[in-house]
Structure formats: C-alpha cells, structure tokens
Amino acid sequence: MHDIRAIRDNPAAFDAALARRGLAAIADHLLAIDEGRRARITAAETAQAAQNAASKAAGAARARNDDAEFERLRALVAEQKAEAARLDTEAQAEDARLREALLEIPNLPLPEVPDGPDESANLEIARWGTPRDFAFPPAEHFEIGGVKAGMDFATAAKLSGARFVVLRGAVARIHRALAQFMLDLHTTEHGLDETITPVLVRNEAMIGTNQLPKFAEDSYRTTNGWWLIPTAEVTLTNSVAGEILDEAALPIRLVAHTQCFRSEAGSAGKDTSGMLRQHQFEKVEMVSITTPETSLAEHERMTRCAETVLERLGLPYRRMVLCTGDLGFGAQKTHDLEVWLPGQNTYREISSVSVCGDFQARRMNARYRPAGGGKPEFVHSLNGSGLAVGRCLIAVLENGQQADGSVTLPAALHPWLGGRTRLTAEGTLA
C-alpha cells in the first residue's frame, strides 16, 4: 500500500510511475478523498474544542447560579458534541474509502525495471548451462515411459476434476526428494529458517500480501471464511504483521515447504496437458524481512539461492528481469528464473523472486526500531520460489530422459533417494 503523504508531496511522479505499468493517472482522485478526509478531521477537532470550551463555560455559569446561561451553554455542548460525532464518522468513512482505493493500486516499479507492455519485453540478463543435445525427439514429462505409471491424471480427474494429479511410487519419491533437497540446501547452506505454517488464513493475511482485495477470484475460500494460501509467501510474510522488530533481528530469512492452491482464473486453455499448471501443488518458498537499505542486496542473494538449486540439479536456466507490464501487483522488481524443458523445446518459469519495498509492510503495519534510535520505520519484504517442486520434477524428468523411457536422475538427489540413480523404463527406482 502506498503512503498518501508521498503522493501529496509529488503526485506527478506517482502518476508517472503508474503510467509505466500502463495505468491511468489517479493521484488527483486520491488527493480529493484525502482532502475531504482531512477537512472533516479538522472540523471535528474544531467542534470538539468548541464543545470543551462550552462545557467549561457552562460549569462556570452554574457556579454563579446563572441558570439561563447554563441552559444555553448546555444546549450548545450537546450541539457541538453531535457535530463532532457526525464529522468524526464522516472522517472515518473517508479514511476507509481512501484505504480501499490505495489497496487496489499496485506497487511502483523501480527505475531500473525495463519498460514494456507484457512478457514479450522481459529481458534476459543471465544464462546458465547448455541444453542437452538429444539423439531422439525428447518427450514431455507425462509421455516418458518410466513416468506414466507414477503420474495418474485419470484418477485425479475422477477425484477432483481437471488440473490435478495423483503421483505414485517412484515418481512420488522423486517429488518428495526434491522438496527435501531444497529445504536442506536452504537451511544448511543459505541460512534460512525452516518454518511450518498453516495453509488456511484469515482475510487480513491475504490483504497483507496483496492477494486481497483485487485477486480474490484467483484463490479458494472455505465456507467459514478461511482462505487456502496460493503460496507460503502469505504466511511467512504475515508472521511479522503488526510487529515492531529490533533492527538487530533483521534480516529475517524464512523458508517453508507447503501445499499451494490456485484457481488459475483466466488460464483456460493454457497448459492443459501434464502437471505444469495445477490447482494444487507444492512449493518451497523463501521470504526475507529486511531494512530498506539492504533489500536490493537481499534480492540478489535470494535469486542466487534459487539459482543454486537449479545448478546443483544440473538444469539449464536463464534469469529474466520482468518489464513493467509483466510485473506482479506487489513487486518493485522481479527476477524470473526459467528452466529449460526439452519436451516443450523452450524455457518455462520455475521461480519468481521479488522485492516489494515497504508496500506489503504498510498493509501489514510491520515495522522495525532503528538501532540508532528514532521512531519505528516500515520493514521491506521479499519473496521467491526456491523452487516450485512440481515444475522442478518436470524439469528433472524431461532433462534426464533416455531413449528407452528411463530417466537419469541428478547426482544431487541421490542421497534423498537412498542412493538410487535412475528411474527405470518400468517406473521403478534403481
């Protein structure tokens, strides 16, 4: 959420930043609401002061037995009290109206973010690994011989409908091994604190990480009002909501492996085959809470944490910086990591790592107390996939596939597979 004071100070700059996202100017509208709100607050304070003065004068009139003056002043006190209450109610309504308007406005892109209308303008800034040269036409993950028995879409459709999968046997074991490998790497080498969180949250948590109010249709809600999290970003980031942290406690670096749930609204017809786009999936999520001065360095650090997972697994990838037209609602800047999928003969997103500045912190009222003293300031928040487990499974299977339908598995996974190195063409580990 944006600071209305910053908009007041430079409305033209605010509108110019929104224009980079392709959005219309809105500062004048916000400032009109703000002006009305502040006018009512001032008027309410004036009425309250008049009420206090009249109350004091009424006491003096009563003390000198001036009944007529006392009655006049008592009526004036009641009048001013009613007026102050009315103005206060109006001010609160305008305050709520302003907050609702601000909650609908996305974060402002950093100056270095490239301008562009959509993903076609995203920039590749780094590449690692060389895609394997296959001696046979590589299959998509769900077509690989050794995978078919362990990736059951028919049963999932019977149970839940489209965009679900049942994993069995060796394929399920590889999926679990990937999550364990990622968690152990992040906790033992990258210094992240493993966290197990709920997957059901209140409205306030979804507002804090900007899923609500704008993107309600993208998530699932239970009949008693809880939301199923679309990512552990929601729970990890909101763990500091309403807190005033000591600067010495920062940065906070968290990681969680959770189920995630997304309605995929607006994705009809996209990635309908396989498990690339699911309503329910697993992800290892990283979240950092930092001071404003260190958030950009932390963004680079988090990106490298995600890249290290891919490098240890030997999966070719490229790093993209998203343009203004493809930037997520809460992000100031985002790095997308795209992994090579030979079955599709293209790179596909497997991680997004974003720095949000104080955008989410203002929504959550998450602050820290500077070590040198002074009033509390808003923290900065960052989030990123480290990685999406299902998509990583797809990449491992497609990049390691062999002509006979077997899959050679990355050496980094062997310890989490009991020393097994291959998925056989029959669908077993060997």
The residues annotated as belonging to the active site are 262, 277, 349, 352, 391
Q: Is the bond leading into 108 cis (omega within 30 degrees of zero)?
A: no
What does the DSSP assignment read for 393-405? HHHHHHHHB-TTS
Element housing 361 (H / E) = helix 359-364
Residue listed under structure tokens 């670096």 = 253
3-state helix, strand, coil in the chain (%, to 5): 45, 20, 35
DSSP classification of residue 230: S
Instruction: Give the number of other Cβ atoms within 10 Å of residue 68's Cβ.
Output: 8
Alpha-helical (H) ranges within 21-165 are 27-63, 67-103, 145-148, 153-160
Contact 381, 289 (CB under 8 A): yes
The closest of 359, 355, 378, 390 to 278, measured between CA atoms, is: 390
Q: What is the CA radius of gyration of the chain?
A: 28
> Which one, of 270, 392, 323, lies nearest residue 118 by Cα?
323
| Residues ≥6 apart with Cβ < 8 Å to 171 | 147, 149, 150, 151, 393, 423, 427
CB 230 within 8 A of CB 289: no
Give 344's contacts (C-beta < 8 A, 6+ positions apart). 140
Q: Note whether 179 and 283 are within 8 A (CB).
A: no
How would you class 58 by CB atoms within 10 Å of its CB: exposed for 0-12, middle for 13-18, buried for 19 or more?
Answer: buried
- Evaluated on CA atoms 422, 424, 427, 430, the torsion sign reads negative
